[in-house]
Structure 1
Amino acid sequence: MVTHPDALPVPTAPLMEPTAADMERYSKRWWRHKNLRSLNAWMLIPLISIFAQGFDGSMMNGLQSVSHWRSYFGTPTGATLGIFNAAYPLGGIAGVFLIRIPADRWGRRVGIAVGASLCCLGAVLQGAAVNLPMFVISRVALGAGSVVVAGVGAPYITEIAHPAQRSTATALFLTFYALGSITAGWTTFGTFRINGEASWRIPSALQGLPSIIQLLLVWFVPESPRWLVSKGRADEALAMLARYHGEGDPNDAVVRFEYHEITTMLASEKEMARSSLWEFATTPGNRRRLAIMIWAAICSQMSGNAFVSYYLAPVLTSVGLTTDLQQTLINATSQMVSWFSALYFATLPEKLGRRTLFLGSLVSMWIVIIAITAGSAEFDKDNDNKAAGYAVVVFLYLFSPAYNLGFNGNLGLYIPEILPYHLRTLGLSVFYFVQFCFMILSNFAVPVGLENIQWRLYPIFVAWVMVEFAGVWFLFPETKGPSLEEIAWIFDGTPEDKLARDALDVEKASVAVTEKVAAGG
């Protein structure tokens, strides 16, 4: 086993693309490989980066059903309730500016640690809040920290996972959102019976638990080989790849090919990398990447998911389910349905394709929202129509699986993989900035809409999801199959295309000089 880069022999095997057998050796029965088992275990640390966001949405759903929380903060509704929930994405907007610097300058592990520290601070303030301003400030800190760990965690997994497992490993990232939701849902279900402030302070403080785990253990996770190469530490990158992707053999076909791709691609990117927002406007491929990130961020927040993520309690109240027990139980069990569906759907991108899952998810959500609208309208006509009310609950349960089909693991995989290394953390910062902006819009608009026009708000989303479908249809290419480095060719063309373009540019420049000399003569 390679334990130190100085002990690593120089690779001598000829460079050849790995065969299907080479990849299957690690994708099937991966648990038989000691170092790959270790890598997959350590990947749990960046995988829980999104846990905090899932915990927050479910916790706020649960707290709105807890009598002691409502009475302590004056039973917030409408715009006041919107402020409670919008504070979190407001912090997220501030946090996007903290993603790139620590992660690109000092490494992915330091980036995770910075975000986890902010989450711990926010959880302490939230659990100890004595008034509305303190609770809001705590949620700003939590939002900032959670977006940093999420923005670093996603590319971290993409960059350290074995190539045979990269799609599934990265797709699993957003499934931990649902795991956080389950934890918060059952926590609030268990604590709402406590007669006192502990009924809401306990779940508020527990939001910091995954961040404490990350702070303690992230230093044992291997650093990204792509980051190491970018910092001139190629020997350490090869040592990491050999140990965890080749079971200690630097001449393993997968290791050799992966190392060659990483070093070649990063050398090419380094020649042209300006790594600024302006670069997203300089080429057709980058402009398309930017459009996809913006549209994906909008779809992830404006498809009606705010009802289930943050405002389940008002929706349940509107169909006659008003008790603390009913609402906290539905919140907790619906999150379990969400998590189990997310885990299964995380295995589908490599089988069905990313674009297929996005489109299928939008169609499914469209059908579910229509059903929720119809059931709510019928219950509004006749409050004794329990069948209509229960039908709404059933489709509320089905909304999360419909959303998870395309916008959970599939989204967590798609955004990091369409971005080249030197734009990966910057691009994710852009994605989260747009996502949290629309989360704020949703968090302000939905409670006001529910308070003023009730179920009549839902048809807006029926129409909007159709617009989202059209955007995905025309913008999103399929990325199933190619390696992480080869996906760039879908947007920028193959290396041969680049050489042809460079030759054409040289030819044009030569012609221009010749014409200028002739004109001067």
Structure 2
Amino acid sequence: MGYEKRLVGSANKIKNFFDRFPKVYNVYIVCSISTISGMMFGVDISSISAFIGTDQYRRYFNNPGSAIQGFITSSMALGSFFGSLATSFVSEPLGRRISLVICSFFWVVGAAIQSSAQNRAQLIIGRLISGIGVGIGSTVAPVYGSELAPRKVRGFVGGLFQFCVTLGILIMFYVSYGLHFINGVASFRIAWGFQIIFGLALFLGVFFLPESPRWLAKHGFWDECESVVSKIQAKGNTEDPDVRIEIAEIKEQILVDEKADTITYATLFNRRYRFRTVTAIFAQIWQQLTGMNVMMYYIVYIFQMAGYTGNTNLVASSIQYVLNTVLTIPALFLLDKIGRRPVLMVGALLMMIFQFAVAGILGTYSEPVSSVGGDDTIRIRIPDSNKSAARGVIAMCYLFVCSFASTWGVGIWLYCSEVWGDNAIRQRGASLSTAANWIFNFAIGMYTPSSFKNITWKTYCIYATFCACMFFHVMFFFPETKGKRLEEIAQIWDEHIPAWETASWQPEFTAAEEKDVASKMQTEHVENANRSNGVDQISSSE
């Protein structure tokens, strides 16, 4: 009991500290700041992929083989796995904003260690620490955006996280590309040190963000919850119909949550929540099993198979990063116009086609080699005499990236932030599903160099098959969340609406019910205020 009181007191103090600073209530600006954590993820991807094929990197780190290079690359994802699982223990009791501050701290420390790395071990440790920050940020930022955004633009706002990921990849790749011309260790040291800027930007920006209204409601700050919702959605008009309905539904959900048992990770697998838990976890796993991170982390290897080496390889790789960023933009609108389910199903089919095409071209036209540029990870190569086949591989890779960027890239981060519905389990559920993403990210990063070495082009057949499986999973088990309030999504699960019927499903919430909920919560508001005053007195006396 004493621990709980101290925790509540700490949450109040942290909230009061942040509230001293002026706040921004434009939802696009707010979420652009919070999703800098997504930019960190992207920055990390290209900061390692741009250098793994350079002489400077390979000489300094003693020509890492496929296994150790896989671990260097995927160590960030391993750190992110642990960061994701730890997030709910900070975000739930202390707030979304302090979680983002902690995210920026780990990122800056990790980047500093990487930029000063003297050996492989120090580089791995730095990437693990940075990964903890990325894991926290990738869990909190999408949830924060979904809790803050009006339902009509939640797809656009939720998609900003993935857009920032792609933008980070693009920015850092060109920074790294320019620096790789430096003949020495300064090439990658400056690039990895440059990452600190993104952590500092997030750290400073968080002080100007409002707290999540659903976190405020859950902790008894009803007036501030209503204030944030009204300022975000209606420029401070508390009588706006959408504001009144949203507040009423938040209050109703909080009433339900308060009657529930204490939420733990085990709660996510009880009778009520297990289907949405499995759906969210598999959504994140499927995103990794599309094979996109094979393209991102090891694009240099792929183009070496196609016969491109040196500077030509890096230039060809950069086009993929541009496409990844540009094609993310239409997805921000498609998710709110068309819906989540159609976008995900079309994306799965297209990615399957293009990966089978890459496998087919490499399997037909490549020839076995002992190594490329001294790297024995690459065991096949399209001969220089067959330029059309090489261009075909690159074209299929580009089309695959376009398919991913406009569908699963944006869609899954948004979907897993909103599919939970219930306020009580959203952050803990998002932590678990995001952790699943990162542990598969780690596994793929470890496995890919060895798979290129041992089964060469057949690697793409595996991921293409996964794309076919995810198409059917979405079709039969993923409910539509477009245009629905988070509390309505919870109702879909509770009423067991079939996934293919959810797009047209509408909740029944009458004005009388809204008035009844508001009346109930007026009493709750008084009780919570009294309870809060009691906690403040305890805190001050301590």
Q: Residues 264-320 of structure 1, C-alpha deviation per residue, up to 9 Å, x if partnerless?
A: 111212211421122222225x11111112211221111222321211111111111
8 Å contact from structure 2 (residues 115, 193) kept in 1:
yes
Q: How does 1:178-193 map to 2 (within 5 A)?
A: 178-193=166-181
The alpha-carbon deviation at position 231 of structure 1 amounts to: 0.8
- Map 1:5-44 to 2 at 5 A: 38-44=26-32
Q: 1:58 pairs with 24, 35, 46, which one? A: 46
CA distance in 1, matches of 2:261, 2:209: 28
Q: Does 1:447 align with 2:449?
A: yes
TM-align CA RMSD: 1.9
Per the alignment, residue 287 of structure 2 pairs with 300
- Among 342, 362, 367, which residue is 2:348 paired with? 362
Where does residue 425 of structure 2 map in the other structure? 423
Residues of 2 paired with 1:401 and 1:97: CA distance?
Answer: 31
Which of 333, 339, 344 does residue 347 from structure 1 map onto? 333
**What secondary structure does 2:461 align onto?**
helix
CA displacement, residues 20-69 of structure 1 (integer Å, 9 cap, x when unaligned): xxxxxxxxxxxxxxx98734223211122211111111222111132211
Q: Residue 472 of structure 1 aligns with which residue?
A: 474
Structure 2 residue 414 is matched with structure 1 residue 413? yes
Partner SS for 2:287: helix
- 1:85 CA drift (Å): 1.1
After TM superposition, the score normalised by the length of structure 2 is: 0.82
**Is contact 2:24-2:210 (8 Å) kept?**
no
SS of 2:151 mapped into structure 1: coil
**Over residues 298-350 of structure 1, what are the superposed CA-to-partner deviations in whole Å (9 max), with x where a residue is unaligned?**
21111222321211111111111111x12222222211110110111121111
Structure 1, residues 131-179: CA drift from partner, whole Å, max 9, x if none?
Answer: 1100000000011110101111111111112333222111222111100
- Partner Cα distance (2:133, 2:348) in 1: 30
One-letter code of the match for 2:45? Answer: G
- 2:75 aligned to which of 66, 87, 100: 87
Conservation of the 8 A alpha-carbon contact between 2:330 and 2:406: no
* 1:378 partner amino acid: T
Between 258-267 and 356-365, the greater mean CA deviation after superposition: 258-267
Separation in 2, partners of 1:361, 1:334: 17
Instruction: State the partner residue of 1:220.
Output: 208
Q: 5 Å matches for 1:161-180?
A: 161-180=149-168
Q: Residue 348 of structure 1: SS of its match in structure 2?
A: helix
| CA shift in 2, pair 1:317/1:429, >3 Å | same
Instruction: Tell me which residue corresponds to 1:371.
Output: 357
Which residue identity lines up with residue 458 of structure 1 in the other structure? Y
Per the alignment, residue 66 of structure 2 pairs with 78
2:398 match: 397
- After superposition, give the CA deviation of every residue in 1:373-413 in whole Å (9 maximum; x if it has no partner): 12212331461211101111111112222112332221121
Cα distance in 1 for partners of 2:57, 2:194 equals: 16
CA distance in 2, matches of 1:254, 1:460: 46
Structure 1 unpaired stretches of 5+? 1-34, 500-521
AA aligned to 1:459 is C
Q: Which runs of 5+ in 2 are unaligned?
A: 1-22, 368-381, 496-506, 514-542
**CA distance in 1: counterparts of 2:183 and 2:160, whole angstroms:** 38
Q: Letter of the aligned partner of 1:288 in structure 2?
A: F
Q: Report the 3-state secondary structure (helix = DSSP H, G, I; strand = E; otherwise coil) of the residue aligned with 1:172.
A: helix
- Partner secondary structure for residue 174 of structure 1: helix
In 2: Cα distance, 1:434 partner to 1:266 partner: 28
Q: CA deviation at 1:210?
A: 1.7
Runs (4+) of structure 1 exceeding 6 A deviation are: none
Counterpart for residue 322 of structure 2: 336
Post-superposition shift, 1:446? 0.9
Contact 2:41 2:134 in 1 (8 A): yes
Aligned residues: 461
Contact preservation (8 Å) 1:306, 1:446: no
SS of 1:337's equivalent?
helix
How far 1:201 moved relative to its partner?
Answer: 1.0
Tell me, yes or no, if the aligned pair for 1:185 and 1:332 is still in contact at 8 Å.
yes
CA distance in 1, matches of 2:27, 2:392: 44
Pair 1:97–1:458, CA change in 2 (3 A): closer
Which stretch of structure 1 is more off in the superposition, 151-160 or 433-442? Answer: 433-442
**Pairwise CA distance, 1:431:** 0.8
